[in-house]
Structure 1
Amino acid sequence: MAQAKKKKTTKKKSESPAKSKAKAEIRQMQEKRKADQRVIDVIWGVIFIAIGVFLFAAEQFHAAGNLGNSIGDALKGIFGLVGFIVPWYLVALGIMLIVNKLTHISGKSFALIFVMLLMLCILNSGRFIDSEILAYDLGKFYEDGVSLKGGGFFGMVLGTFLTKLVGKVGLFIFSIVVIIIGILLVANTPVSRGIEKISDKAEERKLLKEKEKEQAAEQTDLFAENGRDINIITPFDDAGLLGKNPEKKEKKSKKNNVLKYMTDNNLFGRDEKEELPKKEEPAVLKETQISYGLESSNTPSGYGLTGEVSYSGYGLDGNVFPKEEPETGTSENSFVRVKDGKKSYGLSDINDAPKKSALDDVSGITVMEEPAKLTKKEASSITLDPSEMSAVQKPKGKYKKPSSDLLNKPKIQNKGNINIDLKMKAAKLEETLKNFHVDARVIQVTQGPAVTRYEIQPNVGVKVNSIVRLADDIALNLEAKSIRIEAPIPGKAAVGIEVENDKINMVTLREIIDSKEFKEAKSKITFAVGKDIAGKAIVADLKGMPHLLIAGSTGSGKSVCINSIITSILYKADPDEVKLVLIDPKVVELGNYNGIPHLLIPVVTEPAKAAAALNWAVAEMTDRYKKFAESQVRDLESYNETMRMNGEEEQVMPQIVIIIDELADLMMAAPSQVEESICRLAQMARAAGMHLIVATQRPSVDIITGVIKANIPSRIAFAVSSQFDSRTILDMAGAEKLVGKGDMLFNPLGMGKPVRVQGTFVSDSEVHDVIQHVKGQVEDVEYAGEVMNTIEKGNLPQAGGKDETSDELLQEAIECVVSAGQASVSMLQRRFRIGYNRAARIVDMMEARGIVGPQDGSRPRQVLLSEDELNEMKNEVETE
């Protein structure tokens, strides 16, 4: 049998080439016949159209000559009123042949067409036939047809016969049935196909609507167990963004099949025979706010000074264009969220682009040597007169605030229907917990610009820690880049699992500036924060914070955060309402703000001068409190109101915002003075209308000391490298799990736990445009020369002065180490024949004055002061 079967197969293979060739030839002949027939149909179509147009001109306008007019009268005489239909009938027939709607034209088709015309004539003649007088007058029939007073020759003859036979009712029924059958036969279309085509469109629309309802109900029913529901909150639920893309239909159907499979296979532990409850409307909460994805850009960061203001130690001369990516910033405590017409308090996410180090890729800049340190007494001796700090401004006119048109519009992106993806991930999350014997369910999914939060509600008896310890397993099963677990969510009986989105959506500054919350905020130091996970616009009032600490690793979003804060203040306040003191030890971050009328002094770039500026701030605060006491008021707002009521407008004082972009450099130069000034301002400056914003990329305990943390309660933590850094900033872990690019933990004053936020993004080109607009509001900005001289004096350490902690050998010891080029305790012991304790104290004094560097193990200390600088200092002391 096997051999016979094999022979049969071999025979079949030998015959297949001949058969294939014959079939190919037959196929070619059939195709050729079809092509020839198609040409013939087109020719007939053109002929029919031409005849129809000619007859129409003859009948309607008598514009076809004698022949045409005679043919037109003949048509009316023979067919009556139907004679006017004949031309249009021929034109329609020709069009159908050309577009290949009629598969053939034959004698049978002509016969059917003629029969239908006759039936139309009979229908028309039914109006003129008198059932009592059924005489045949052929001549009169023709004449009445020409004058359109009858049904034409054929119509009257056949109509009279049918009326005698079946009456008028039968005449109408018979004619209509024959016409319908003729149309179907000529078109070569079965009756069933015609009926299907008529109902197809209506049925398709109906099925589409039902499918959408079933899909929404299926999403809801997927998690419905005994009335259970799940809410999906996403910023992409607008009608124009969800489920309206026809290209997504195939993908949606596939996802529906997956969902159906999960449901049919009892994926969630339900009884296979249990029927899921159906709901007419899906439980999907729609959000009107739209978030947009963040696209990478290489926009150059930092703009050079325009030359209007140029002071040594305050800014840069010329243009500096570091190739940095922008960062994004946030703010703290007193922020406002408006939801459903009510005010509530919450946070928003800050969206940030990655940022390089401030001095990366900067060319043409001479790196400063490590700044000299100031002793506590020397720094306190540099006191700046508050009355001298006001800049003399020559305004062009009334200050005009920038327009939001200077900022980039958000890019609308069609995200498609993302609800199904979120549902599937929620199902996988439940399954993962179930596999580890954790009985919990997802009650809500909220997608934000950077992360999606799944709210898990554990059943009674399930420990929260049993969910927290599964963080790595959950990340593995969800294929997530990173997750963060918030256990529990403040104010909810649920655990939040935050999963990073595949793509971070950019929150532009313009979205928040144009928002109702920002426009209606009354405070002049209100600034844009960003959006929370639910996509709500959030703004913050620095007055209620009242000071802010911003910390995070390099490139996490600190500088963009500060730019957002400053830009928001420029949009909100006039120059006489809010003054800014900007301290930028990194030199290139804030220098482009030089020349704006809101600056109280030029941007400070040297740490030694920054200490003098902070010392002035303390003096200004003290002076303001003295004025409050004289006027018997408690804060700046009451004082200004009193001055206005008394007609003393010139005594009204502005609010002052002091922004330090990098605290680490200041703490290295003069730790005791800077720390003391910051603490005094943080403790007392709020009522005086002065507020601190401190940022650092070194969140270590020697930079963010316990005294600073105790006096700055509002904090923002960007992404950091370790849990220890997170604890230094927030006193708790969590910041090490942030994704960067503006992702932050926001812990304002009065909030028990930090909240995850994705903040606003403002590019350097946007900042530049706003600055240029603001600079154009004044002709020139002049700063008091005495103030500049005072700050310049504070830049050099004083070695010749004595204080309570000085030593009589200090001056000689300084000359010794400067001439030797190195310093050590043993060297001083040998040179001056003193004990170890005294020599060590002298070295510490020199370190405090910035003359020698810090201890470097067993090696000698580095000397920071040259002989020329020492001689210059001696000359200045002798001159004084």
Structure 2
Amino acid sequence: MAKKKSSKKKIISRKKIKKNPALHSETKKGILVVVSFTLALLTFLSFFNIAGTWGEYFLKISKLLFGKGFFLISISFALAGIAILIPHFKISGSKKPVYKTIVIGITLFIFSILGVFHIFSSGVNEEAGGGYLGLVIGYPLITYLGFWASLIVLLSFLIISILIIFNIPLVPLKEEEKKEVSMVKPSIILDLENIEKKKISAKTGLWHKLKGKVNEEIMRGREEKKYLPDKEMDSLLGREDISEDKRSLTAIVLAGKKKTLKGDSFDFKMPSLDFLERDKGQPNSGDIKANINIIKRTLENFGIEVEMAEVNIGPTVTQYTLRPAQGIKLSKIVSLHSDLALALAAHPLRIEAPIPGKSLVGIEIPNRSMVVVRLRSLLERPIFQESSSGLTFALGRDVAGSPMFADLCQMPHLLVAGATGTGKTVALNNLVVSLLYNSSPNKLKLILIDPKRVELTAYESIPHLLSPVIVQPDKAIGALRWAVSEMERRFEVLQHAGKRDIRSHNMAIKPEDENEFLPYMVIVIDELADLMAFNGREVESAIVRLAQMSRAVGIHLVVSTQRPSVEVITGLIKANITSRMAFQVASQVDSRTILDMAGAEKLLGNGDMLFLAGNSTKPRRVQGAFVSDKEVKLVTNYLRKAQEPDYKEEVVSDQRKNLRSGSFDLLEVDDELYGEAKNVVIQAKKASASLLQRRLRVGYARAARLLDILEERGIVGPSDGAKPRNVFIDEGTEEEI
């Protein structure tokens, strides 16, 4: 019985598909344009008696109705075709109102000209001037208003009709309004022209088109998708009817209004979104119906009954969801990973079992053609524009195409890892540019550490920097130590003010006390492996100390590495940085090092990532946003011209001075032999545990501890295999320590 019912449903759905063929809105618009110009040409030919018998009759009727204005028929059809082609018409957000407006404008245009023809003609003969229609318009006006008043009224209606047809504002727009329209029109409003009114289910994940209005879920960052599957999927997946969303484009227009941030010493104008490029193209997911049948048939061959559910088409992958029958273990489906990949000819294939928050299993298949997610399409979203946090940044789009955002204030630190060339640096650029669009220099300060010297140097001299981009490892360690001391200073400020965190402290500051304002500080390390190789103990200690305590005072870490090994991403670092961004890696071992679970080895690269939020137990697949070097250069050039940087020299001051400051010593000098050990290594100009054992006659454990203390105090360098350690202090400067 169940099979018969299902077969009936399939037959019904196929009938529905045949009765309701999918016709793209652009195709409909093209048909209207062709029809309009065809009618314009036919009527034009009839005026010269070269349109056959039809043309003769049409000319007689048109002269009777329009008089000397019979040529307006051809002009009206041509105007209608031109008006439909003009993109400016889509600003109303809906097709029907736009076409009705065109008809109203053209009708007013014809009647006003016919009325003018009539009042200029001699007498009131219906065939003179504007024909019968001109008589209907002009005769009452001449009778009650006279010649000149009638002429003024008709000419005013003529001007109004032209404004209506071409949607031209009488007063030129201001510069800010032009920017808003130019930003909104191509990215959102032009897409609404392509949006069809469909019958869809509120639970489905297919990217459907709505007509005229956009369903904005501002707080969750959801949006209706631009990348759309075939219309037949509605019937195939049994969609339910939903009413047309009635929300207007007001929320979207707000995306262009956040241009100036007040409250600083001056009004700082944020960079324009015109510096960033827009999304282009659509992903090609292949034959969706065929893939659904292959998945279902493959699982049935292994004795697993499933019910296919929604399909989500993302920029990189398409997610097919299914609901297993009762009694089916998820492990059985996961174990068929290779069989499904073979049947679908898809590699790499990823299975998410179950999808968080749903009783479904997701099978993610790479799209045949992928789409680059541009940063601009995300920064235009209201959730970003209206965010109360200055550290909100765009991640990208998930497998359903929904925009993804994150907040460093909530993380509060981020670890980025993956193989070379998988999109880590682009993700860092995406994060930094998002922050630059979200916060002014007085509210956000950056410390950029780039041992590779080529990745973050594009941000040199922007006003948000606390110091020039740091490329030397010793100065990087000094900057981390300065950040620790700055953290301690901020805690003292909060303690005296009686506040718990930086946000409550800044909100309580009066306008006359601007000097007490504490800006957020983000430290970005592009390659952690280089710093760990230089002095792993120092770097790890500083990162752990900051990660443990700096959230309350507004200091946040973003650490990136292309070597996801336990020597670089140590246990202490992982324990204190719970938010992670994993790009494609070579092996499952590397994935477990980053995420404590497998999955990153099945990613596609080019920005495809697994994002694990600190408050989540399972990662979420995201196609990261892309920002090019050209876009970064345009934004940074604007910022350099807008304001000069205000560097703090103590951030990049001499490392040895910072090391001797005593503000960050994990090991207290509690050994009575410390002074002797210091003198021994300074006089010998080398340091090793065996040297201290011989000279001080102590055991290995105590000698090693003394050596660690000397290293922490900056007197000796890190170990280098079997070679003795370097000594940084000369005999003449030993009294300073």
Determine what percentage of the aligned residue pairs are the same residue: 43
2:488 pairs, out of 598, 619, 622, with: 622
Residue 496 of structure 1 aligns to which amino acid in structure 2? Answer: G
Match of 1:675 among 532, 540, 546: 540
Given that 1:439 and 1:459 are in contact with CA atoms closer than 8 Å, whether structure 2 keeps it comes out as yes
In structure 2, C-alpha distance between the alignment counterparts of 1:529 and 1:707, rounded to whole Å: 26
Using the alignment, how far apart are the partners of 2:660 and 2:422 within structure 1? Answer: 34
1:132 is aligned to: none
Shift of 1:609: 2.1
Q: Which moved more, 1:808-817 or 1:486-495?
A: 808-817
Q: Which residue does 1:117 correspond to in 2?
A: none
Q: Distance in 2 between matches of 1:847 and 1:621?
A: 23
Quickly say closer, same or farther: Cα 1:284–1:412, change in 2 above 3 A: farther
1:235 and 1:534 in contact (8 A); partners too: no
1:685 and 2:543 matched: no
Whether 1:605 and 2:471 are equivalent positions in the alignment is yes
1:565 maps to which residue?
431
CA distance in 2, matches of 1:340, 1:693: 38
Matching of residue 528 in structure 1 with residue 394 in structure 2? yes
Highest Rg: 1 or 2? 1
Rounded Cα–Cα distance in structure 1 between residues aligned with 2:691 and 2:680: 13
Counterpart CA distance in 1 for 2:676 and 2:354 is 62
Contact 1:526 1:572 in 2 (8 A): yes
Equivalent residue for 1:412? 281
SS of residue in 2 equivalent to 1:781:
coil
The aligned residue for residue 448 of structure 1 is: 314
The question of whether the paired residues in 2 share the 8 Å contact of 1:722 and 1:736 is answered with yes
Residue number among 444, 456, 474 corresponding to 1:590 in the alignment: 456
SS at match of 1:456: strand
Aligned-pair CA distance for 1:590: 1.3
Offset at 1:680?
2.7
Q: Secondary structure at the match of 1:695?
A: strand
Secondary structure of 1:233's aligned partner: coil
Match of 1:537 in 2: 403
2:613 to 748, 751, 757: 748
Distance 1:783 1:877, change over 3 A: farther
Aligned-residue RMSD, C-alpha = 4.3
The letter for the 2-side match of 1:555 is: G
C-alpha spacing 1:668/1:633, structure 2 compared with 1 (3 Å): same
Tell me the alpha carbon deviations over residues 487-529 of structure 1, each in whole angstroms, 9 at most, x when there is no partner. 1111111111112222331101111112222212221111111
Distance change >3 Å, CA 403–CA 694, structure 1 → 2: same
1:471: which partner in 2?
337
Cα distance, 1:796 vs structure 2: 10
Which AA in structure 1 matches 2:206?
I
**Contact conserved, 1:608 with 1:794, CA < 8 A, in 2?**
no
Q: CA deviation at 1:480?
A: 0.7
Give the CA deviation at 1:432.
Answer: 0.8
Q: Deviations over 1:50-88 (max 9, x none)?
A: xx99xxxxxxxxxxxxxxxxxxxxxxxxxxxxxxxxxxx
Match of 2:155 in 1: none
The 3-state SS of whatever aligns with 2:509 is helix
Deviations 1:714-764 (A, max 9, x none): 111111222222222222111121111111111112223111111100111
Match of 2:239 among 248, 261, 283: 283
Where 1:698 maps in the other structure, the secondary structure is: coil
Structure 1 residue 433 corresponds to structure 2 residue 323? no
Q: Which residue of 2 aligns with 1:392?
A: none
Q: Is the partner of 2:448 in helix, strand or coil?
A: strand
1:296-355 deviation line (CA, Å, top 9, x unaligned): xxxxxxxxxxxxxxxxxxxxxxxxxxxxxxxxxxxxxxxxxxx999x9xxxxxxxxxxxx
Tell me by how many angstroms 1:873 deviates: 3.9
Matches within 5 A, 1:545-560: 545-560=411-426
TM-score, normalised to structure 1, is 0.51
**Are 1:660 and 2:525 counterparts?**
yes
Q: Does 1:777 align with 2:642?
A: yes
Q: Offset at 1:477?
A: 0.9
Residues 1:458 and 1:803: Cα distance change in structure 2 (over 3 Å): same
Task: Find the partner of 1:233 among 206, 210, 224.
Answer: 206
- CA pair 559-477 structure 1, distance change in 2 beyond 3 A: same
1:808 CA drift (Å): 3.2
Where 1:685 maps in the other structure, the secondary structure is helix
Q: Return the offset for 1:833.
A: 9.3
Task: Give 1:695's aligned residue.
Answer: 560
Amino acid at match of 2:533: M
Q: What does residue 354 of structure 1 align with? A: none
Give the partner amino acid of 1:781.
P
CA distance in 1, matches of 2:450, 2:368: 35
Distance 1:580 1:235, change over 3 A: farther
Corresponding residue of 2:596: 731
Task: Return the alpha-carbon distance in structure 1 between the equivalents of residues 236 and 691 of structure 2.
Answer: 89
Cα deviation for residue 579 of structure 1 reads 1.0
Q: Is the 8 A contact 2:584 2:604 kept in 1?
A: yes
Q: Alpha-carbon deviation of 1:775?
A: 0.4
Partner Cα separation in structure 1 for residue 458 and residue 452 of structure 2? 13
User: How far did 1:563 drift?
Assistant: 0.8
Counterparts of 1:708 and 1:445 in 2: how far apart (Å)? 38
Per the alignment, in what secondary structure is the counterpart of residue 589 of structure 1? Answer: coil
Letter in structure 1 aligned against 2:239 = A
Aligned counterpart, 2:87: none
**Structure 1: how far apart are the matches of 2:610 and 2:236?**
40
In the alignment, structure 2 segments of 5+ residues that lack a partner are 1-48, 51-197, 213-225, 252-263, 663-667
Aligned residues: 507
* Distance of 2:337 and 2:732 partners within structure 1: 66
Map of 1:224 onto structure 2: none
Q: Provide closer, same or farther for how the CA distance between residues 238 and 472 of structure 1 changes in structure 2, counting only shifts above 3 A.
A: farther
Say which SS state the counterpart of residue 776 (structure 1) adopts: helix
* Superposition TM-score, scaled by structure 2 size: 0.60
Task: Report the AA paired with residue 746 of structure 1.
Answer: F
* Counterpart residue number, 2:356: 490
Instruction: Give the stretch that moved more between structures: 523-532 or 781-790.
Output: 781-790
Match of 1:516 among 382, 385, 389: 382
In structure 2, C-alpha distance between the alignment counterparts of 1:485 and 1:787, rounded to whole Å: 47
- How far the C-alpha of 1:622 sits from its partner, in A, is 2.1
SS at match of 1:680: helix
Question: Equivalents in 2 of 1:236, 1:738: separation in Å?
Answer: 29
Q: 1:810 deviation in Å?
A: 5.7
Cα distance between partner residues in 2 of 1:566 and 1:744:
18
- Between 1 and 2, higher relative CO (CA 8 Å, sep ≥ 6) is seen in 1
Tell me the alpha carbon deviations over residues 360-385 of structure 1, each in whole angstroms, 9 at most, x when there is no partner.
xxxxxxxxxxxxxxxxxxxxxxxxxx
